């Protein structure tokens, strides 16, 4: 007898969309069979020929837990994830207290996951200027990758210089763990920002001028060079411009083990939107020009971008406002984990013809492979964890703040029209979200598979 059978699925599998019944036993996908058979099961759910996608793996979230629960915590963040069809999050090492740059901090974070998460979680560790000696132990304790910045990221998360990055990547190459990098050139950004502030230039245009595309390009060039020297696997986080993607593609062609992600806001919003919406859309790298948005879609549709992430980076409402009309004061980060998949379905599949199999690869399979979660995660396939979402591709709806599970509900997507909606979400065969209602279960801490 099966634990669960989902009947009449349009299952998005690695081999195409299959009209089938999907059977679950002991938290795993046990069988995928043609519709119409009488299958013994504890629970049977007829999803009425809606899509069954593999659960989304969001490789880029900031849940601020422990330490800064007023922004977001693992309970509210993972509730929002579940409502968005996300069954695994990979939580970033900064924006909480303590930052995850030591083994003790990692163990504290794992306890928070066990206590609060309602979906499965993997954890990034941090690579900063003085912790390379801890990386191997942190990887052994479950850090699936390590995040570094090439520009200022706060006093408690120092950015790395080229020599420190090389040292960290040499450790990564020796022990087969991944280094992810926020790529902006500190020398460019700090000089331009300092000059603007000292001249009293405090607006949106001044912020954009201090974070120019060339800053992102130069940082990516340096990171790819270090990856080539070290032989490490490197992941370029939240690329905002097509030229960065092309640099990664060129590096791969000469043998560099490089991957790249982008985010919905770089595929939807422009600098004009930032001028109009102000702080609610502030992030780094910033949103770019319309030609860059169009170019990023070209990169995505041509298969040059490896994966997509939300970069969910919450804040309190007050942090998104300037008390003195000073744009520099405003928190840089966007709420987005709950709307991540529906927006990509609407803007990608419906508006631009992206294949649903490609969307599943970009939002689940590739992240599982790159972050060492495959084959347990990342596909609707026999033997994989029973992580999936029921998705109605025809339902039209508006994003309203009051329907979001975030602790702080402000979002630049408020009021946006979307076609395609998450109906149900299952984590290891257990329903965690059902038509607007969260069913609390305990998520697990996931460890990456490595060859060394």
Can you tell me the mean pLDDT for 52-59? 99
pLDDT tens-digit readout, 240-272: 999 999 999 999 999 999 999 999 999 999 999
CA-closest candidate to residue 282, choices 225, 322, 243, 309: 322
Give the pLDDT of residue 323: 66
| pLDDT tens string 7-38 | 999 999 999 999 999 999 999 999 999 998 99
| pLDDT, position 442 | 77
The reported pLDDT for the residue numbered 280 is: 97
- For 327, other C-beta atoms within 10 Å of its C-beta total 20
pLDDT band at 69 (very low <50, low <70, confident <90, very high): very high
Q: Helix, strand, coil % (nearest 5) of the chain?
A: 35, 25, 40
Query: How would CATH label the architecture of 55-371?
Result: Alpha-Beta Barrel (3.20)
Q: What is the pTM of this model?
A: 0.97
- Residue % of the chain over a pLDDT of 70: 99
What is the pLDDT at residue 322? Answer: 76
Q: How confident is the model at residue 452, as a pLDDT?
A: 56
d(CA 193, CA 201): 9
Residue 421's pLDDT is what? 99
**194, pLDDT greater than 70:** yes
* Structure confidence at residue 95 (pLDDT): 84
Q: What is the mean pLDDT of residues 210-234?
A: 99
Q: Which two tokens stand for residue 422?
A: 């998450």
Which tens digits make up the pLDDT trace of 378-402? 999 999 999 999 999 999 999 999 9
Predicted pLDDT at 49 = 98
Q: What are the residue ranges spanned by the domains of the chain?
A: 55-371
Beta-strand ranges (E) seen in 198-240 are: 233-236
Cα 55 to Cα 43: distance, rounded to the nearest angstrom: 20
Residue by residue, DSSP assigns 73-120 as -HHHHHHHHHHTTEEEEEE-SSSSSS-S-SHHHHHHHHHHHHHH-SSE
> For 312-361, what is each residue's pLDDT tens digit?
999 999 999 876 779 999 999 999 999 999 999 999 999 999 999 999 99
Q: Round to whole Å and give the CA distance between 262 and 252.
A: 17
Predicted pLDDT at 448: 85
Give the separation between CA 26 and CA 414, rounded to whole angstroms. 39
Whole-number mean pLDDT of the chain? 97
For the segment 122-142, what is each residue's pLDDT rounded down to a tens digit?
A: 999 999 998 999 999 999 999
């Amino acid at each position: 007898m099966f634990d669960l059978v989902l009947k009449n699925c349009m299952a998005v599998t690695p081999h195409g969309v299959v009209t089938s019944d999907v059977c679950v036993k002991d938290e795993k996908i046990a069988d995928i069979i043609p519709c119409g058979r009488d299958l013994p099961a504890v629970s049977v759910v007829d999803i009425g020929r809606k899509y069954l996608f593999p659960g989304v793996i969001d490789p880029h979230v900031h849940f601020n837990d422990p330490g800064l629960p007023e922004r977001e915590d693992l309970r509210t963040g993972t509730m929002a994830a579940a409502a968005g069809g996300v069954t695994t999050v990979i939580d970033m090492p900064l924006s909480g207290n303590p930052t995850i740059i030591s083994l003790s901090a990692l163990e504290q974070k794992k306890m928070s996951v066990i206590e609060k998460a309602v979906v499965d979680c993997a954890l990034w560790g941090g690579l900063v200027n003085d912790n390379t000696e801890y990386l191997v132990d942190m990887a052994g304790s479950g850090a699936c990758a390590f995040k570094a910045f090439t520009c200022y990221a706060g006093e408690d998360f120092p950015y790395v210089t080229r020599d420190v990055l090389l040292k960290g990547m040499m450790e990564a190459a020796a022990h087969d763990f991944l280094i992810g990098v926020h790529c902006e050139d500190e020398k460019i950004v700090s000089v331009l920002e300092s000059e603007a502030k000292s001249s009293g230039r405090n607006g949106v245009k001044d912020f954009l001028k201090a974070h120019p595309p060339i800053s992102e390009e130069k940082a990516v060039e340096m990171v790819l060079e270090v990856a080539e020297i070290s032989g490490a696997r490197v992941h370029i986080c939240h690329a905002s411009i097509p030229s960065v993607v092309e640099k990664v593609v060129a590096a791969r062609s000469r043998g560099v083990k490089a991957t790249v992600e982008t985010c919905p806001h770089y595929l939807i919003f422009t600098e004009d939107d930032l001028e109009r919406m102000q702080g609610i859309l502030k992030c780094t790298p910033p949103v770019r020009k319309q030609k860059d948005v169009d170019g990023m879609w070209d990169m995505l549709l041509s298969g040059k971008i490896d994966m997509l992430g939300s970069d969910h980076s919450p804040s309190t409402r007050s942090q998104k406002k300037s008390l003195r009309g000073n744009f520099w004061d405003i928190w840089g980060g966007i709420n987005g984990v709950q709307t991540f998949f529906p927006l990509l379905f609407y803007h990608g599949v419906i508006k631009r013809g992206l294949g649903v199999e490609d969307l599943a690869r970009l939002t689940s399979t590739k992240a599982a492979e790159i972050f060492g979660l495959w084959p347990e995660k990342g596909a609707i396939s026999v033997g994989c964890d029973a992580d999936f979402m029921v998705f109605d591709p025809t339902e039209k709806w508006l994003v309203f703040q009051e329907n979001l599970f975030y602790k702080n509900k402000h979002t630049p997507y408020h009021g946006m029209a979307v076609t395609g909606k998450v109906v149900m979400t299952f984590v290891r065969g257990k329903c965690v979200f059902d038509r607007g209602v969260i069913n609390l279960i305990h998520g697990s801490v996931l460890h990456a598979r490595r060859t060394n």
